[in-house]
């Protein structure tokens, strides 16, 4: 008879072997057998471990007992938590507020002050360093959290494997670990280096070189270890940036930030001014042929604007907006989400008429008469613009002067409209935006010495000064 072939009975009071009771005794609760062939049980006289005959392995009784791992079992007594050897002897005299299970010769433990550390196989702490949290070891490393809430991997000696710290972190699985920074979730190697540049709302561990991930728009993909999409499992939410004004429903719409924008946030420098040219937040729909100057933000979309501001936090240093109300609303909500009291400057280069339109030059008639996407492609390309529009190359240079004006390190947001954001990003990166610019989507521009750098949808280019 082998204990490896036993199972817990559906009622949870005893063990089965090939479907038949393993012994006559019945307990309040049992857990599976672990090496060396002992199982935790709870009985009327207290918790302990039993052998395959249902007989106690020792005389002591506890409040709770758990399975043996590496010949040591976590138990809870009146004085606290500790580890037990198979013959019932304590591994060490100390008592803890909590202990985990031994994995790879190490075990996390928490003291009465709420501090975590790792123990070795003799139950001795690894050095004097303590953590806000410490997890199990896997593939030679464990996750720890320091007091500021950031996470890192430590090795068997208890020291960090690398100098990088993350918002959240997981154990290694086949050489890669799930990690989260302010841009979202992704995978890192043992030196903390990202396996790819994309960021996601959630990621699973890699299984035979592939992982299931969820994008920020709710879409599901299967990716490879370079972050390349192999298969779409579910399409993202429709790219709905507006709805009819006055619609009676007020159902909470699951607005999501564009996943490429969230990924780009993690690639920005922290030591210099960074301009963020973005489209305003989700708005009500506008009537055909209308300029839409009085169209305001959807109330149910406002929390998403605040959320984006919260991602910037104290980095948000200035706000400049199109004169149009929904853009000024967006700028104010960004400041609110960031917890910053910032004034909102206004620039006609961002709207009314905007950098690419000649005031009073007839551009409004062109907007009404020409299909929108072909018109945008024309303004993004090398051909001459239609009547009423500025030379796009010159207009982009004027817009760059505005974006690169702030001298204070931090994030400088410039809230505008899809046409201005789309044309500017296309002309700076050389890529026409497909799909077109969503609400709250935009690109980043900053100086790097004598160079100008633009970042949009993961594409980083150097722009000629």
Task: Please write the tens of the pLDDT for every residue from 226-260.
Answer: 989 999 998 875 544 555 555 444 333 445 677 77
Asked whether residue 160 carries a pLDDT value surpassing 50, the answer given is yes
Asked whether residue 278 carries a pLDDT value surpassing 60, the answer given is yes
Dist CA 454 CA 274 (whole Å): 10
- Mean pLDDT score, 71-89: 97
Q: What ranges do the domains of the chain cover? A: 1-95, 242-463
Residue 2 vs residue 343, higher pLDDT: 343
Name residues whose C-beta falls within 8 Å of residue 402's C-beta, 6 or more positions apart in sequence: 320, 347, 349, 350, 414
- Other C-beta atoms within 10 Å of 294: how many? 12
pLDDT of residue 250: 38
Q: Dihedral through CA 74, CA 76, CA 79, CA 80, nearest 10?
A: 60
- Mean pLDDT score, 412-426: 96
One-letter-per-residue 3-state SS of the chain? CCHHHEEECCCCCCEEECCEECCCCCCCEECCCECCCEEEEEECCEEEEECCCCCECCCCCECEEEEEECCEEEEEECCEEEEECCCCCECCCCCECEECCCECCEEEEECCCCCEEEECCCCCECCCCCECEEEEEECCEEEEECCCCCEEEECCCCCECCCCCECEEEEEECCEEEEEECCEEEEECCCCCECCCCCECEECCCECCEEEEECCCCCEEEEECCCCEEEEEECCCCCCCEECCCCCCCCCCCCCCCHHHHHHHCCCCCCCEEEEEEECCCEECCCCCCCCCCCCECHHHHHHHHHHHHHHHHHEEEEEECCCHHHHHHHHHHHHHHCCCCCEEECHHHCCCCCCECCCCCHHHHHHHCCHHHHHHHHHCCCCCCCCECCHHHHHHHHHHHHCCCCCCEEEEEEECHHHHHHHHHHHHCCCCCCCCCCCCEEEEEEECCEEEEEECCEEEEECC
Asked whether residue 18 carries a pLDDT value surpassing 70, the answer given is yes
pLDDT band at 367 (very low <50, low <70, confident <90, very high): confident
Long-range (24+ apart) CB contacts under 8 A made by 114-123 are 116/144, 117/158, 118/142, 118/154, 118/158, 121/70, 121/72, 122/91, 122/92, 123/82, 123/83, 123/91, 123/92, 123/94
Asked whether residue 418 carries a pLDDT value surpassing 60, the answer given is yes
What share of the chain in percent tops pLDDT 70? 94
Task: Please write the tens of the pLDDT for every residue from 344-357.
Answer: 999 999 998 999 99
Residue 362 vs residue 231, higher pLDDT: 231
DSSP-assigned beta bridge partners for residue 42: 29, 47
The CATH number, out of the four listed (3.40.50.720, 3.10.20.30, 3.40.50.1240, 3.30.1280.10), of the domain defined by the range 242-463: 3.40.50.1240
pLDDT of residue 244: 55
**Is residue 86 a contact partner of residue 68, using CB atoms and an 8 Å limit?**
yes
Task: Please write the tens of the pLDDT for every residue from 380-393.
Answer: 988 888 999 999 99
ω into 36 cis (within 30 of 0): yes
∠ CA 50-56-59, rounded to 5°: 135
Fold classification of 1-95 is Lipocalin (2.40.128)
- Other C-beta atoms within 10 Å of 442: how many? 26
Task: Tell whether the torsion through CA atoms of 293, 282, 234 and 179 is positive or negative.
Answer: positive
Q: pTM surpassing 0.85?
A: no
Dist CA 161 CA 327 (whole Å): 45
Query: Which pair of structure tokens corresponds to residue 10?
Result: 């559906």
pLDDT of residue 102: 97
């Amino acid at each position: 008879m082998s204990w490896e072939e036993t199972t817990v009975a559906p009622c949870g009071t005893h063990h089965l072997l090939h479907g038949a009771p393993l012994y006559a005794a019945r307990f309040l609760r049992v857990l599976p057998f672990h090496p060396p062939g002992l199982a935790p049980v709870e009985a009327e006289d207290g918790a302990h471990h039993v052998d395959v005959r249902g007989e106690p392995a020792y005389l002591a009784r506890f409040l709770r007992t758990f399975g043996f791992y590496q010949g040591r079992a976590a138990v809870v007594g009146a004085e606290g938590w500790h580890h037990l050897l198979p013959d019932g002897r304590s591994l060490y005299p100390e008592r803890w507020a909590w202990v985990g299970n031994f994995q790879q010769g190490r075990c996390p433990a928490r003291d009465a002050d709420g501090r975590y550390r790792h123990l070795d196989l003799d139950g001795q702490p690894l050095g004097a360093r303590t953590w806000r949290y410490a997890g199990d070891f896997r593939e030679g490393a464990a996750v720890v959290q320091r007091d500021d809430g950031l996470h890192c991997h430590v090795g068997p000696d208890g020291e960090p494997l690398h100098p990088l710290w993350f918002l959240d972190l997981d154990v290694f699985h086949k050489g890669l670990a799930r990690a989260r920074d302010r841009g979202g979730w992704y995978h890192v190697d043992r030196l903390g280096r990202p396996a790819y540049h994309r960021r996601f709302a959630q990621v699973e561990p890699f299984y035979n070189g592939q992982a299931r991930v969820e994008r920020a728009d709710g879409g599901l993909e299967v990716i490879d270890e370079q972050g390349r999409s192999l298969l779409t499992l579910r399409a993202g939410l429709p790219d709905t940036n507006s709805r009819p004004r006055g619609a009676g429903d007020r159902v909470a719409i699951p607005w999501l930030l564009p996943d490429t924008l969230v990924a780009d946030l993690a690639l920005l420098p922290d030591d210099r001014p960074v301009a963020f040219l973005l489209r305003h937040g989700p708005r009500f729909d506008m009537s055909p042929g209308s300029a839409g100057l009085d169209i305001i933000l959807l109330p149910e979309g406002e929390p998403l604007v605040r959320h984006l501001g919260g991602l910037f936090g104290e980095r948000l240093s200035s706000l400049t907006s199109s004169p149009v109300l929904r853009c000024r609303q967006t700028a104010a909500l960004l400041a609110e989400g960031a917890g910053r009291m910032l004034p909102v400057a206004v620039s006609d280069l961002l709207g009314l008429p905007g950098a690419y339109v000649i005031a009073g030059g007839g551009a409004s008639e062109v907007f009404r008469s020409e299909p929108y996407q072909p018109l945008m492609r024309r303004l993004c390309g090398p051909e001459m613009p239609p009547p009423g529009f500025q030379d796009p190359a010159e207009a982009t240079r004027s817009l760059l002067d505005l974006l690169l004006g702030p001298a204070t390190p931090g994030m400088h947001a410039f809230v505008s409209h899809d046409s201005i954001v789309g044309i500017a990003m296309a002309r700076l990166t050389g890529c026409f935006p497909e799909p077109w610019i969503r609400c709250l989507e935009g690109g980043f521009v900053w100086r790097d010495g004598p160079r100008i750098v633009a970042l949009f949808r993961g594409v980083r280019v150097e722009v000629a000064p």
